[in-house]
Amino acid sequence: MPLSLSLPFSPRRIVIGANAHAGIAAAIRRRRPSLEIRGAPFTDLTADDLAWADTYIGFKRPPTIASMGNVQWVHSTGAGVDGWLGPGLDESILLTRSSESFGPMIAEWAVARIFAVQQQLASLAEAQRDRRWAPRDIARVAGTRALLLGTGDIGRAIATSLSALGVHVTGVSRSGESTHPAFSTVHRIDALPDLAGNADWLVLSLPDTPATRGLVSRDVLARCRGAVLLNAGRGTVVDEAAIPEALDAGWLRAAALDVFVTEPLPTASPLWSDRRVMISPHISGLTTIDGAASGFLECVESLERGEWPRWTVDRARGY
């Protein structure tokens, strides 16, 4: 189905579906005072807002509205675009994604958890609460081995931080091509089952696409030998139901999870009460107001010049 907008294109009426809509609108207005902008948290938008707008900015589709109205262009403010592709955005609507680099923040998330595990922070905090003097051996992070699934912007930032700490970093990607010197080697995805047994840290930063869904299957988990699983990509990449078994069997030593198959993570999930699991509520890489506004305006400038933005989503690949 052809796109409904044609080049050059100048958006006129923008609707922003985000909690931070007022800040994003103000940042856009500072550079483009003539744009008309409406905004609300994405769950509060109405069919009237979407009928009014030609352009939508937000991480997810408004849940209760079936039609995107007169919207011809959606600019996604998140790192992943599954919030748009999952529900099946009409192919006549241009989909672009944020230019913001989430890598440095996600790398800090990963490093924090790796040190928390290695320095046994949780059990030391418990001992302190009990006024218990509990000496133990602490292992170094330097000299350990990380296997990173995802060698894009986020994977590269994680690789850079970990290799600076003396971690030996191997990558796995679709192409198997080395994209950054922080990776000592990069393998094709089909090598994953063989590589899993050598990893101390199995770090995921993959989007949700047909190719990544279920990639870290129970079989791959069963090949691990005491790795710590860190997931800042998408919950669907891992067989989440197999994680408790993987921990009990010692395939995994611990897990640090920022993303889940269902978010918020249901209260009935056994992961909540497992002391070997560190849960964070999808906060490893956060969109900033300036990042959201600049990414959008960069796309506006391309469209006005008559060019497709470099941040246009390849729907077949899913990112």
Which residues are tagged catalytic?
234, 263, 282
* Interacting residues of 132 by C-beta distance below 8 A, sequence separation 6+: none
Closest chain position to ligand OXD (CB): 78
Residue placing its CB nearer to ligand OXD in the complex, 69 or 155: 155
**19's tokens:** 């909690």
Determine the size of the site formed for ligand OXD (CB under 6 A). Answer: 6
Burial degree of 80 (CB within 10 A; 0-12, 13-18, 19+):
buried
Q: x/- binding map, residues 113-152, to ligand OXD, per CB under 6 A? A: ----------------------------------------
Residue placing its CB nearer to ligand OXD in the complex, 97 or 168: 97
Residue placing its CB nearer to ligand OXD in the complex, 79 or 111: 79
- Yes or no: say if 216 and 239 are a contact pair by the CB < 8 Å rule: yes
Q: x/- binding map, residues 46-85, to ligand OXD, per CB under 6 A? A: --------------------------------xxx-----
Residue placing its CB nearer to ligand OXD in the complex, 152 or 244: 152
- Yes or no: say if 193 and 200 are a contact pair by the CB < 8 Å rule: no
Helix (H) or strand (E) holding 205: none
Burial degree of 104 (CB within 10 A; 0-12, 13-18, 19+):
middle
CA distances in angstroms from 299 to 9, 50, 281, 311, listed in the order given: 10, 20, 30, 7
Helix (H) or strand (E) holding 222: helix 218-223
Residue placing its CB nearer to ligand OXD in the complex, 62 or 80: 80
Q: Is 39 in the site for ligand OXD (CB under 6 A)?
A: no
Binding residues for ligand OXD restricted to 279-308, rule: CB under 6 A: 282, 285, 287
- Given the rule CB under 6 A, which residues bind ligand OXD? 78-80, 282, 285, 287
